[in-house]
Structures are given as structure tokens and as C-alpha cells.
Amino acid sequence: MADLAETISQLALFILTVLLGVFTYQWVIIQLLYFFFVRKNPFKFYWGLAQSWFTSFATASTAAALPVTFRCMEENNNVDERISKFVLPIGATVNMDGTAMFVSVASIFIAQINSIQLDLGQYATVVVTATAVSVAAASVPSAALALMLMVLDAINVPSAQVTLLFTVDWFVDRFRTTNNMLGDCYTAAIVEQWSKKELNAMDQEQEELNEEPTTSDSIDDSKQLKNRLNLNSNCCQHCQSELDTGEEDEAGKIVDANSAV
């Protein structure tokens, strides 16, 4: 019974540590990055992603929340559609901030359960390996647990206790998914800020193309002008013919009158 209570206490501390990391990342780190690069109110941007946040939390999948994320980014936060459609799908595949953080914390947690003290080199190995394997993580629920085995193997820590994390991962996974989603969105906002000149140049070029008449339009206009000229020429010829006929009739009448006299 004492072992069970100790295990529950350890898992509770593990959950608390992960959540502390999640909200430090969401409320401090990415907000500072957004303000530094974009120079706008980061919490207004964060609030605009509320619906996407809850969708990511409910589905535990960044990919499943993408349609809602697109709408929040483009309608609520006015991010250019070209940027959001390019950055977000890539981010949902390779940018797993929450997963990297979870794998790092979970690997250290498993080492501590096994009473293994890690040195500075092993901590560095955990960070680097967790970051690398997070890129390969699928955007599906609980994908990080399978990848964590590679990190434990890299630091020579037994992986038998990984099964303990299955009892809490269904809950923690939802929060780290919101981290992944927010990382993608804030990255898209920063990329848009860096790409302002290129986007404006593309818009201006498109406007100029829309203002210039196309070749087909010029051909159509030439045909219409030619048809009008032909119509006017035919009308003039018809009028001249009627005028000549009228003059001949009038001259005939005068000749007949003179003959009668």
C-alpha cells in the first residue's frame, strides 16, 4: 500500500512538472518571442486561438485541429492565408514542441524512479535526442511514449517503468498537443512578419497583371472594332446607293415634264 501511495505521489509530481513546463512555454516563452519579432500584443493573438486550443485539447491531435486552426489564424488573427496554408501543415508534421518537452521530462522521471543519477552529458543527450525524435513523432495521441524508448536507450536507463506513464498520458498528452499547435501558430505569425515585403510585392504584381488587358481581350476588342467599321461602311454604301437612286428618279421626272411641255 505504501508503494502504491508513493507511486501515485510520484506521478502527481510528474504531471505537475509537465503542466508547469507547458504553461511556462505558452504564457511566457512564446509570448516574449511574438512580442520581440512581431511587436504586437501577444495575448490578443493567444486569445484569437482559443477555439483551436480547445479543439487540440479535445482531439489530442494537431492534424485533426488544423481546419479550426486555419480559421482562427485567418479570421481572428488576420494572418495571411498564403503563410498559414504553408506553415501550419509543415508544423503539424515536424514541429512538436510539447512532445520534445514531455519526452525529456519523462525520461528524467524514469531515470529517477530507477535511482539513476544522470550527469551533465546525459542531460544534454536527453535534450538533443528528445528534440530529434520529436520531429519523427506522428500527430496522433500518445505517439511520444514509443519514441521515449529511444531516449532511454541512449542514456542506458531501463524502460520497464514506462508503462506507468500510460496511466496519465491520456491527460498530459492533451496539454502537450496544445503546445504543438501554439508553436505552429506563433511560428506562422513570425514568418508572416519576416515576409511582409515579399507578400506586398506579390500583391502589387498581381494587381498590375489584373489591370493589364490580356492578349485574348485585345483580340476580342480588335474584332469588335473591325465589325463596327465594316457595319459603318456597309451603312454608308447603302445610303449612297439610295441617294443615287433618288437623284436618278428626280432627273427622270424633270425630263418627262420638259417633254410634255
How many other CB atoms are there within 10 angstroms of residue 186's CB atom?
24
Residue 130 sits in the same domain as residue 180: yes
Residue 74, C-beta contacts closer than 8 angstroms, at least 6 positions apart? 81, 84
Residues 179 and 244 in one domain: no
Domain boundary among 201, 229, 251: 201
Mean pLDDT in each 10-residue stretch from start to end of the chain (261 residues)?
A: 80 95 96 96 96 96 94 96 95 90 94 92 94 82 81 91 89 93 96 93 87 58 60 54 51 46 43
Q: Are 163 and 67 found together in one domain?
A: yes
For residue 185, the tally of other CB atoms under 10 A from its CB is 27
Q: Quick check: helix, strand or coil at residue 79?
A: coil
**Rounded Cα–Cα distance for residues 65 and 56 (Å):** 5
Pair (185, 248) in one structural domain = no
Look at residue 207 and tell me if it is in a domain: no
CATH number at residue 174: 1.10.3860.10
Per-residue confidence (pLDDT) for residue 260, from 0 to 100:
47
Give the count of domains, the chain: 2
Q: Are residues 146 and 226 in the same domain?
A: no
| Residue 147: domain span | 2-201
pLDDT at 194: 94
